[in-house]
Structure 1
C-alpha cells in the first residue's frame, strides 16, 4: 500500500487532496501546523501529524513519524494580496519562508530516502500566477515562481535516481481560505493611491467564470503523483488550464 505525506491539510487544497488519496486506498499522513483530528476520517490508513514547514525540527519530527513514504505533496502555502510598494520586507520574507524555503526544506528532508530506494515522487504545488502575470500579488508570485525553477532543475537532478519531481499549478480558487488566512498579514497593503486600481482588480475577479475548485487540485495532484512520464507541469482548474494553453500557443 502506497503512502503519501501532504502538507497544509487543515483546509482547501491540502484537505481535499488528503481525502482524495485516502479514498483511493492510500495511506495518508496529513501535515498541519495546528493538528485537527476532526477534519479527516478516523482510520488506520490516515494519520494527522504536526508539521510546520518553516521549522526544521518540525519537519524532521514529521518525516520520522511518517516513516517510509512514496509521495510527498508540498501544498502548504501563504497567500498575499497587496501593493508591493506597501508590503514590508518582513512580510515578504514570511511568504518566502513558507512558500519557497519550506518547500525546499521538506524536499531536502525526504530526498535521501527516495534516492536510496530508487523511487519516489515529489509534487510541489505552486499557482497559476506563474503562468500569467497578475497585479497585487508580486511577492506571492515571486515565491511561487522560485519553486517553479527549483522544481524544474531538481527534476533533472533526481531523474538519474528514479525519483520524479512534479508541479501542480492551481488557478483562482475563491472557495478556499486563501484570503481569509492572510487577512491580518494584508492589513494596510492597499494604500489610498492604489485603492481605485485595486477595486478594479477585485471586481475583475468576481467576473471570472471558470475558476478552480478544491477537487480540481486534488485530482491534478493524484495525476501527477501517478504519472510515470517526464511531464513536469499539471495546471489544475479550468482557468489554469486555459492559461497554460495560452502560454504554449504564444
Structure 2
C-alpha cells in the first residue's frame, strides 16, 4: 500500500486527512507535536509520530522512523488574526517559522528519497487569504503567500525527477479551530483606533451568508492531488476558495 506522511494531525484538516486516507486503505504516518493515540482509531496501517516542524532534530527522527514515503502533505500551520501594526515581532517570526520555514524543512527532509526514487507527490496546504487583500490576517497571509511561491518553484525543480507537487488552497472553514475560534481572540480588539474595524470584520464573518469551506472539501482536494496525476497544480478547496481563485484569475 502507498504511504502518506501528514504534518499537523492534531486537529482540523490534518486529522481529517489522516482519517480519509486510512479509510481508503493507505498506510498513514500522522505527525503532530504531541502524539495522542485517542485521536485516530487503532490500525496496523497507522503510525503516529512526534514531529515539530520548527525542530530539525524532530523532523529527522520522524522521517527516519516513517520509512519510505510516497506522498508528503505539509499541513501544519497556525494563524493569529491581528492588525499588522499590533503584531508582536515574536509572533510574526513564529508564523513564518511554522508556516513557511517549517514547510521548507519537512520538504528538505523528505525530498531526497523521492528524488532518488524518481517518484512521489508533495502537497502543500496554503490558504485562500493569499488570493485577495484582507484585513487582520496580513502576517498569516504573507507566510502562506511565501508557501505559494516556494511551491511554484519546487514544482519546476522536481518535475525532471518524476516528483509531482501540488498546492491545495482551502477557503474559510468555520468548523476548524482557526476558522471558528481565532477571530473572537483578535489582537487589538481593545485598541481605540482598530476596535471599530475589528468589530466590523468579526460581524461580517459572523453574519455572512456566503458559502464557506467544509473540511471534506479540503481532504478530497488533498486526495485528488495525491492520487490523480492529471490534477492541476493549484486546487481550490471549498466554494469560497473556488470563487476567489476565479476572481484572482
Quickly name the TM-score band, shorter chain normalised.
over 0.9
Name 2:45's counterpart in structure 1. 45
Bigger relative contact order (CA 8 A; separation at least 6): 1
Q: Which moved more, 1:177-186 or 1:231-240?
A: 177-186
Name 1:27's counterpart in structure 2. 27
- Assess, with a 3 A threshold, how the Cα gap between structure 1 residues 104 and 79 changes in structure 2: closer, same or farther: same
User: What is the CA distance between 1:183 and its match in structure 2?
Assistant: 8.2
- Assess, with a 3 A threshold, how the Cα gap between structure 1 residues 186 and 51 changes in structure 2: closer, same or farther: farther
Q: Which moved more, 1:239-248 or 1:1-10?
A: 239-248
Q: Is the 8 Å Cα contact of residues 80 and 179 (structure 1) preserved in structure 2?
A: no
What is the root-mean-square deviation in Å for CA atoms of aligned residues? 1.7
**Runs of 4 or more consecutive aligned structure 1 residues displaced over 4 Å after TM superposition:** 179-190
Q: Is the 8 Å Cα contact of residues 81 and 183 (structure 2) preserved in structure 1?
A: no
Output the TM-score relative to the length of structure 1: 0.95
Q: How does 1:15-164 map to 2 (within 5 A)?
A: 15-164=15-164
Q: Is the 8 Å Cα contact of residues 123 and 166 (structure 1) preserved in structure 2?
A: yes
Structure 1 Cα separation of the partners of residues 248 and 183 of structure 2: 31
Query: CA offsets per residue over residues 124-156 of structure 1, 9 Å max, x none?
Result: 001001112211000000000001000000100
Q: Is the 8 Å Cα contact of residues 6 and 29 (structure 1) preserved in structure 2?
A: yes
Name structure 1 gaps, 5 residues minimum: none
SS of 1:193's equivalent in the other structure is coil
SS of 1:169's equivalent in the other structure is strand
Structure 1 Cα separation of the partners of residues 189 and 165 of structure 2: 35
Q: How does 1:155-194 map to 2 (within 5 A)?
A: 155-178=155-178, 187-188=187-188, 191-194=191-194
Q: Is the 8 Å Cα contact of residues 169 and 233 (structure 1) preserved in structure 2?
A: yes
Name 1:6's counterpart in structure 2. 6
Q: Is the 8 Å Cα contact of residues 8 and 75 (structure 2) preserved in structure 1?
A: yes
Output the TM-score relative to the length of structure 2: 0.95
Name 2:240's counterpart in structure 1. 239
Q: Is the 8 Å Cα contact of residues 83 and 190 (structure 1) preserved in structure 2?
A: no
Q: Is the 8 Å Cα contact of residues 130 and 141 (structure 1) preserved in structure 2?
A: yes
User: What is the CA distance between 1:229 and its match in structure 2?
Assistant: 2.9
Q: Is the 8 Å Cα contact of residues 83 and 187 (structure 2) preserved in structure 1?
A: no
Structure 2 Cα separation of the partners of residues 61 and 144 of structure 1: 26
Q: Is the 8 Å Cα contact of residues 28 and 46 (structure 2) preserved in structure 1?
A: yes
User: What is the CA distance between 1:191 and its match in structure 2?
Assistant: 2.3
Q: Is the 8 Å Cα contact of residues 9 and 30 (structure 1) preserved in structure 2?
A: yes
Name structure 2 gaps, 5 residues minimum: none
Structure 2 Cα separation of the partners of residues 181 and 205 of structure 1: 12
